[in-house]
Amino acid sequence: MTTDQENKGQDLSELNDNVARIEELSQRLANIMAHRKTVRPSLQAPGQEFYVKTAGSVWADMMANPSKMIEHQVSFWGKTLEHAMEAQAALAAGDFKAPEDPGPKDRRFSNPLWDTHPYYNYVKQQYQIASQTMEDALKDVEGLDDEGTKRMKFFTQQIMDMMSPTNFLATNPDAMERAVETKGQSLVQGLENLVADLEANDGELLVKLVDESAFEVGKNIATTPGQVVFRNRMMELIQYAPSTEKVHETPLIIFPPWINKFYILDLKEQNSLIKWIVDQGYTLFVVSWVNPDASYADVGMGDYIEDGYLAAMREVKAITKQKKVNVVGYCIAGTTLSLTLSLMKKHGDKSVNSATFFTTLTDFSDQGEVGVFLDDDFVDGIEEEVTENGYLDSFFMSRTFSFLRPRDLIYGPAINSYMLGKTPPAFDLLYWNGDSTNLPAKMAVEYLRGLCQNNSFATDGFDLLGERLSIKDVDIPLCAVACETDHIAAWKASYDGIRKMGSKDKTFIVSQSGHIAGIVNPPSKKKYGHYTNEDWPESSGDWMAGATFNEGSWWGRWGAWLAKRSGKHIDAREVGDSSHKPLAPAPGTYVVAKPNV
């Protein structure tokens, strides 16, 4: 048999194997879609009222300003025809190349064929012309309030991102090139990845962002030494082993958000804030929250305060023999920390010496980008969901946050996985991002209705545990760190809330980057800087205008601030005491436990 015949035989064998594999995967795909979990429509898209109101405003604007509509239409068709004629002229000249491309640069279209190949260039430019026309048409629509306008632009952008030619096999040169290079194997692997993701989420598509097999909590992430020294229904309290001979007298407790797991602060040694704090000579305790199931349906914000915050403070004071502690709250845990401090003020409890807030919202008058999901249409759907099931499945939170950055967290990963057939990267941050948690029914509704929608804490007061809690009650020394490009807790909104607190000793820092990278920003990276300003003008814009930019991480600045409020140095403490025997090595059991759902 000749070499050519052998190659053809091998190619035919590979083709037959791939066809058989596709048939098997197609059967699995049909099966999972036939048994797909039903998701209530109110959690899938804005309510009908939003569409009616938006469409009515657009139509009224068109009737009131017909010239504006005609101008947009003429501009669109003019650009479309001009580009079509340019493409036709380029082909008629006999050169198989695209016309000159003056369009905006977009990293989605980084393959050179988008600029040089007449077919791909034509598709790209037509998409860009249509997208720009949609943006221009919505800029001046009247009849909607600011929130309605923001939602209209957000969901329109979602449609535009979804319709990008990069998202379709026939119009994605990267996918077509790889299919040819791999003799179709990339498409088979992509189908395998698609089916696996659908099966993992009961038929709902949530793109896997990371190679989960590359990480194991407690083995190669979350490895800072410590012990669980207390456990109750709501949390495990971890005390970390000292790494210095001397430590500050006042212990420190970190309350991480319970929407995700605490080890975002302890991913690996090089970027672990937990390890860094321990190395600065602090007795550090971190709360690891339980991942709730339906049995936690009646757990509310008050339970997190009593069995989480207050319980942790009580146990830490007992272990360290101290009357005061310093505390940190991150994101929603910072919001709840402010509620706790208000409650403690009402009760005359002076156990907290100072508080630090990471990316924390306490004034929700500006809800930021996530506000598009906080209108009644979505919140009503969430309330129906948790009333029926007893908890809000982590799937919904993951999907919501993904839609805030769809190009990076949905379409880009989907293209790599399903079209290019690639294995997701081994990236610790993305592993943590996918390891999300459920929310108890009562807590979810209290938070969304009372804090996010009604903004009660920053206005008339938030009723909880028999008290009316107010932002003005937070009057202890505090430091707040917000992030410049945070899409979950906008720094300006964070500033507004911290400014309303009653403390006379306040420090505000704005870190470059976003909700996670701005916080997990070790000094060794020398990557993101931060802004500081000792003044507290009414406007956050004025604060930034008068701020000083500082190179490097904010960690050292905060460490110096905390050191001044942490007492004298004493001999390093042993982990636990006679009444707090080690229950499990860090990172504990709650962080890896699977809820019964």
How far apart CA 343 and CA 255 sit, in angstroms, is 17
Q: Which helix (H) or strand (E) holds 97?
A: none
How far apart CA 543 and CA 345 sit, in angstroms, is 29
In degrees and rounded to multiples of 5, residue 549 shows phi and psi of -90, 135
Helices (H) and strands (E) in the chain, counts: 21, 17
Q: Which helix (H) or strand (E) holds 28?
A: helix 3-34
Would you tell me how many other CB atoms lie within 10 Å of the CB of residue 103?
A: 17
Say which residue the tokens 């034509």 belong to. Answer: 122
Partners of 230 in beta bridges: 237
Residues designated as active site: 331
Report the 3 state secondary structure along 264-309. HHCCCHHHCHHHHHHHCCCCEEEEEECCCCHHHCCCCHHHHHHHHH
How far apart CA 309 and CA 290 sit, in angstroms, is 14
Angle at 370 between CA 272 and CA 549, to 5 degrees: 50
- Rounded to 10 deg, the angle between the 185-200 and 3-34 helix axes is 20
Residue 83, classed as helix, strand or coil, is helix
Closest C-alpha to 396, from 358, 430, 438, 425: 438
Please report, as a single letter, which amino acid is at residue 232: N
How far apart CA 332 and CA 437 sit, in angstroms, is 13
How far apart CA 487 and CA 244 sit, in angstroms, is 37
Q: 129 with 376: CB under 8 angstroms?
A: no
> Around 592, how many Cα atoms within 13 Å sit in the side-chain half-sphere?
13
Q: Which two tokens stand for residue 67?
A: 């010239």
How far apart CA 235 and CA 427 sit, in angstroms, is 27
Q: 352 with 344: CB under 8 angstroms?
A: yes
How far apart CA 450 and CA 428 sit, in angstroms, is 34
> Around 450, how many Cα atoms within 13 Å sit in the side-chain half-sphere?
21
- Rounded to 10 deg, the angle between the 173-181 and 185-200 helix axes is 120
Say which residue the tokens 């709650």 belong to. Answer: 590
Task: Please list the alpha-helical segments (H only) found in 140-248.
Answer: 146-162, 173-181, 185-200
